[in-house]
Amino acid sequence: MTFKELKLHEDVLQGLDAMGFEKPTPIQEQSIPIIIDNKDIIAVAQTGTGKTAAFLLPVLHKISEQQIEEGQINTLVISPTRELAVQIDQQLEGLGYFTIATSMPVYGGGDGDGFSREKRALEDGAHIIVGTPGKLISHLNLGYAKIDNLKHLILDEADRMLDMGFYDDIMKIINQLPKERQTIMFSATMPPKIRKLAKDILTDPEEISIAISKPAEKVVQAAFLAYDGQKIELVKYLLRDNDVPSLIIFASTKLKVKQLTRELQKQGLNAKPISSDLEQSERESILNEFKSKKLQILVATDVISRGIDIDNIDMVINYDVPNDPEDYIHRIGRTARASSEGEAVTFINEDDQYKFSRIEDLIEREIRKVKMPAEIGDGPEYNPKKRGGGRRNYGRRKGGGNRKR
């Protein structure tokens, strides 16, 4: 299947050509016709499968085809984080370059100038607005946004939005929008709460789901059984023996990210942290350094594991095992995007073994356990199902009176 066969407008095809997209990904192939057909849709596909273009292309197509004039906001895209909003906007600029479509990102942070620029775009009715929930609400509450003629509402990374507690905000926004509109939801996973949201806000939707909960096939996955005290040495070992220009190390808490970055820096490694603790401008400049390969190692929490689009990452290290098995898939989805190959390495200490076995259950695959290098010494034995392993910390309080029911 080609983009041309999807009958996209000539101006959109030119943008695709300039972006170097040769053929549609499966999620694009399936959702583009439905969106062009003005039907509501819930589309689920794992991270890195091209969901952004799957919703941008048909919208750009319709704006081009109908020669819609500026003056009324045509499409509102809601995204959970600023980083994602920026990325969607960047892809929009690329794909829409040869079209008449205008757009504006609307996300928190920034100064008064930023706010008035956003306000102007909303007043003038730019075709496509991409924003985060909180910032969109502040603008909508002030009443100048030209939304009476809104045709498309798009929720991107819907599962992430709910994880971040945006349900009420989404509803507040929807309440201000015209009822006659097409609503489009994209998500990496389909937990019950996403099903419920879809039921609440979509009308008679088409449903598409592609290979949920399976990591991208080109990711080489491996795990080391390591005590916490061996992990830094293991990072250094992996960097010495492999050519790794770009590495993301994931840790589960902001505090760990901070400590680990400091430790890596002390060892002379080129590492910086990214977490929700940082100012927006700091986060952007670190991301840019990383993307331009000036920064080798990005240390991150799961906040950025979903949806952040950074190309050509050579390796992802899970410094600890993520609590939510779905997060494992998101984390390793950072590597081997679209067409490259990538490696994902997970460090498993004695307490994380049970959690890790749940990931293996989810992806229905056993992940290779690699022997610790001799110079670092043996790690713990792998015994995930043994009681007292990973479960030790859960719900076995003395007296048992405190258990959640």
Contacting positions for ligand ADP (CB under 6 A): 21, 24-25, 28, 47-53, 307, 309, 311, 337-338
Q: Least distance in Å: CB of 122 to ligand ADP?
A: 25
Using an 8 Å Cβ cutoff, are 100 and 63 in contact? yes
Using an 8 Å Cβ cutoff, are 87 and 107 in contact? no
Q: Least distance in Å: CB of 84 to ligand ADP?
A: 8
Task: Report CA-CA distances (Å) from 10 to 13, 19, 57, 95.
Answer: 5, 14, 12, 12
Residue 49's binding partner out of ligand ADP, Mg ion, none, with CB under 5 to 8 Å set by partner kind: ligand ADP
- Count residues near Mg ion (CB under 5 A): 2
Residue 15's binding partner out of ligand ADP, Mg ion, none, with CB under 5 to 8 Å set by partner kind: none
Q: Least distance in Å: CB of 331 to ligand ADP?
A: 12
User: Please, which residue, 307 or 389, has the CB nearer to Mg ion?
Assistant: 307
| Token digits of residue 163 | 């994880």
Asked whether position 51 contacts Mg ion by CB under 5 A, the answer is yes
Asked whether position 355 contacts Mg ion by CB under 5 A, the answer is no
Name residues contacting Mg ion, limited to 293-352 (CB under 5 A): 307
Using an 8 Å Cβ cutoff, are 366 and 360 in contact? yes
User: Please, which residue, 104 or 308, has the CB nearer to ligand ADP?
Assistant: 308
Q: Least distance in Å: CB of 311 to ligand ADP?
A: 6
Piece of 37-45, 50-58, 123-131, 277-285 that binds Mg ion (CB under 5 A): 50-58
Asked whether position 160 contacts Mg ion by CB under 5 A, the answer is no
- Spatial CB neighbours of 268, under 8 Å, sequence gap ≥ 6: none
User: Please, which residue, 327 or 352, has the CB nearer to ligand ADP?
Assistant: 327
Q: Are strands 342-348 and 315-318 parallel, antiparallel or unpaired?
A: parallel
| Token digits of residue 218 | 């080109």
Q: Least distance in Å: CB of 116 to ligand ADP?
A: 30
Helix-strand-coil split of the chain, %, nearest 5: 40, 15, 40
Label residue 139 exposed, middle or buried (CB < 10 Å: 0-12, 13-18, 19+).
buried
Q: Least distance in Å: CB of 64 to ligand ADP?
A: 18
DSSP states of 168-232 as a string?
A: HHHHHHHHTS-SSSEEEEEES---HHHHHHHHHH-SS-EEEEESTT---TTEEEEEEE--GGGHH
Q: What residues make contact with Mg ion under the rule CB under 5 A?
A: 51, 307
